[in-house]
Amino acid sequence: MERVRVDEKRTTTVYDLKSVIKSSLFPDDQEQEIVALSLRPELLTTKDDVGFCPEGFTDMPDDAKLSDIRPPLENGSVVNMLTSSARTVEGVKLPDFLKAGRTTMTVEEMVAKQTRIERQESSSVASVSFDMHAANSFQAYVSSLGFHNKRGGILYGEVKEDKVLVHAIYEPEQQGSAEELQMERSTPQEERADAIATAWGWKKVGMVFSISAKSDRDYMFSATEVMSMSAIQEELGELAVTGVVSQEQPDEEDDDGSPPEVHFEAFQVSKQCVELHGKGWFSVGDSANEFKCRNPDDKKDRTPVIVGRTDVDRVDVDYFLVAVAIDSHSSGFTSTFPVENRLTGQSSADLKAQISGKPLAQGLKDFHAVLYVTDQAGMSSGEAGSFAASVLLGEIQSGHDMIVRSMAGVV
C-alpha cells in the first residue's frame, strides 16, 4: 500500500526500518508512533476487549537485522504496521469486504477474485467455407516452397448468419522464417484491397498462415501464433477465423516414400483468450507453446490464474483453441491471376493472359488481377473501389479500359 526503501539490509535493524518508515510516510505527524511491525497480516486485526494487542507478534523485534528476519525480506516484501492511532493512506483502494466493515474473506470470495482458465466448448461461428480456388492457390504455393518458411494472408469474404465464407486471400508483403511471421499491415496496398473487397460486398473475416515443416516442434501452435490469432479476432470481431495449413511429417519407420500429407484446418481462440491478451496478461513462457501469465493490475501475484484446481502462472495454449468446421465453395470469382508479393511475381504478360479472349470485365473478375491493375495505375483506395465496382457491374469506363489494355500490351 505504501513503499519505503532501505539501502543495506545486512546492517539495517528493525528499529532503523521504523525510523525510515516514520520519516518517509508521516514526517509531519510527531505524535504518531509505530507500535509494531510484523510479516504476519493478523497484526492488523488482532484485538482484545480494550483494543489492538500486538504482544504476540515477535517475528520483527527492534534489535533484529533485516537480513536475519525469516522468511527473508526481499524487494517487494509486505511488512504489516500497527500505529498508535488511525491514519489515512492516500490512493489506497480497499477491497469490497473491508469497505463493508469486515476483516475476513471467505475462500469462495477469494476464488471468485482469481481468474479461472476454462475451455470454450464451441466456436463462435458454425463453420467456415473457403473458395476452393483461393485455398488451393495458397496451399499450392506454400507446398512449392517445401513448407520451409511460414507464409500468411488476410481473408476476405462474407459472414452469413453464423457461417463465414472466404472468397479471397490477400498476401501482404511479409518476412517469414521457420518460427516467425511478420506481415506488413495498414499499407496503401492493403487499403486498396479493402476498397476492392468493399465494392464487392466483402470484408476482412480472418487470417491464414502455414506452419513450417522445418520447425522443430512437438506441438500444434506456439504462444506467438495464438497471440496473433487473438489479435485478429480482437481487430475484426468474435466471428473472425484463422486458417492453418500444415504438412504432416511421417515417422521414419512409416515413411514409404509417398508425398507428405497436407492439412487445411480452421480455428478460433476463446473469448477469454482475446480478453486476457487484450489486457496484457500474456507473454511467451519457458516453453514455446505456453503463456506466462501476469495480472497487469496486480503484478505481485505470482500465480494469477487457476487451471483445474491449481494456482499457476503459466498455461498451455491448447486451453484457448477452438476448432471450427471447414468446408469449400465456389465464390463465382476466379483466382487464376498470380498472387501479389510472391517470389513468382506478376507481370503485364499475366494480365494479357487474364483478359485475352473474353470481355474485359469478365477477365478482371479476379481479386488479385484488380489489385494488380490498381497498384500499377497508382490508384487511391477510393479510385480502386470505384474501378472494382465497375468490374462487378460489367460497366468499365473507357478511360479505365484503355489503361488496362495498355498495361497488358493489348491494342
Query: 134 with 128: CB under 8 angstroms?
Result: no
* Spatial separation of the C-alpha atoms in residues 39 and 181, rounded to whole Å: 48
Which pLDDT belongs to residue 254?
60
Percent of the chain with pLDDT over 70: 90
Choose among 33, 44, 56, 105: nearest CA to 80.
44
* Spatial separation of the C-alpha atoms in residues 112 and 106, rounded to whole Å: 10
Query: 165 with 155: CB under 8 angstroms?
Result: no
As beta bridge partners, residue 52 has 47
As beta bridge partners, residue 284 has 291
Burial class (CB in 10 A: 0-12, 13-18, 19+), 178: middle
Q: Which of residues 352 and 2 earns the better pLDDT score?
A: 352
What would the mean pLDDT of 31-57 be, rounded to a whole number? 79
DSSP letter (8 states) at residue 238: T
Judged against a pLDDT cut of 80, whether residue 51 lies above it is answered with no
Which pLDDT belongs to residue 107?
47
Average the pLDDT over each of 11-15, 186-190, 319-323 and give the range with the smallest value.
11-15
The overall pTM is greater than 0.75: no
Q: Residue 236 has which C-alpha cell?
A: 475484426
Go through 323-347 and write b for each residue having 16 or more CB atoms within 10 A of its CB, e for each that does not: ebebeeeebebbbebbbbeeeeebe
Query: 268 with 233: CB under 8 angstroms?
Result: yes
* Model confidence pLDDT, tens digit, residues 141-194: 999 999 999 999 999 999 999 999 999 999 999 999 988 999 999 999 999 999
* Model confidence pLDDT, tens digit, residues 123-138: 999 999 999 999 999 9
Give the dihedral sign, CA 268/273/279/283.
Answer: negative
Which pLDDT belongs to residue 110?
47
| Peptide bond before residue 71 is cis, with ω within 30 degrees of 0 | yes
Burial class (CB in 10 A: 0-12, 13-18, 19+), 49: exposed
What would the mean pLDDT of 220-244 be, rounded to a whole number? 97
Average the pLDDT over each of 39-53, 73-87, 142-156 and give the range with the smallest value.
39-53
* Confidence band for 41, pLDDT divided at 50, 70 and 90: confident
Judged against a pLDDT cut of 70, whether residue 93 lies above it is answered with no
Q: Which of residues 199 and 14 earns the better pLDDT score?
A: 199
Judged against a pLDDT cut of 70, whether residue 102 lies above it is answered with no
290 phi, psi to nearest 5 deg:
-135, 150
Choose among 361, 354, 327: nearest CA to 408.
354
* Spatial separation of the C-alpha atoms in residues 226 and 211, rounded to whole Å: 13
Which pLDDT belongs to residue 269?
97
